[in-house]
Amino acid sequence: MRPRPVVAIDGPAGAGKSTVARRLADALGYTLVDTGALYRAVALAAQRAGVDWGDGEAVGAVARGVVERRELALGRSEQGAVRVTLGDEDVSEAIRTADMGMGASRVSAAPAVRAALLDLQRQAGEAGGVVLEGRDIGTVVFPDAEVKFYLTATSDERARRRWAELRAKGHDADLSQTLADVEQRDSQDSTRAVAPLRQADDALLVDSSGTGIDEVVRSMAVHVARVAAK
């Protein structure tokens, strides 16, 4: 067993995984390994190489290339924020656009891309004392993670949060349409052939419906501390 656990967080879109992962890592003094950032960086590298995000073979080759040449790396700024580099360039900001979010979603459906990023994710987490969030962390990347959470909330609640977020950004969003989008994304994510959304058998279910984020993070931190003390 590692001196400090690997903590894996999975769950449907809109359950608050990224926020909870960041807050939990801070609360525990662990490192946040942002695996989504790697998929985003592959999308950016593909776009720059003129490769279509939907061409699984070609994006796979791009991903293998940046990994083999050691161009793609996850690091941290002095303030502790996640930094992503592609060759000599810091692309941390460039990958945060909605366009790269879309690109990451497309390229992450390619098995060759997922395979190319596997070792990089494992190396980033294997020493323990890390929190990783994403689609197949608890099932494929770290099936042996000491702590696995499946973070969810009802579709109504996730839609309401997403709707409030959109409104806060000044978008004229419709709640029933947002709910329909959330339900469509759930069904898409659970039924897709590659890395479908599913709860690992040994994952602890955390339902954040009707619970504030502070309370959710606190109860998860208590659980990790209990496992780490064993």
Binding interface with ligand DC (CB under 6 A): 18, 35-37, 39-40, 101, 104-105, 108, 134-135, 137, 195
Q: What is the CA radius of gyration of the chain?
A: 17
- The answer to whether the beta carbons of residues 138 and 200 sit under 8 Å apart is yes
Which one, 37 or 46, has the nearer CB to ligand DC? 37
Token digits of residue 131: 């929190």
Rounded to a whole number of angstroms, the minimum distance from the CB of residue 183 to ligand DC is 17
Which one, 18 or 154, has the nearer CB to ligand DC? 18
Rounded to a whole number of angstroms, the minimum distance from the CB of residue 174 to ligand DC is 23
69: Cβ contacts below 8 Å, ≥ 6 apart = none
Angle at which helices 98-107 and 35-48 pack, to 10 degrees? 100
29: Cβ contacts below 8 Å, ≥ 6 apart = 129
Rounded to a whole number of angstroms, the minimum distance from the CB of residue 101 to ligand DC is 5
Q: Rounded to 5, what percent of the chain is helix, strand, coil?
A: 50, 15, 35
Rounded to a whole number of angstroms, the minimum distance from the CB of residue 21 to ligand DC is 9
DSSP bridge partners of 72: 86
Rounded to a whole number of angstroms, the minimum distance from the CB of residue 51 to ligand DC is 17
Which one, 105 or 152, has the nearer CB to ligand DC? 105
Which one, 57 or 172, has the nearer CB to ligand DC? 57
**Beta carbons within 10 angstroms of residue 1's beta carbon:** 10
Which one, 5 or 134, has the nearer CB to ligand DC? 134
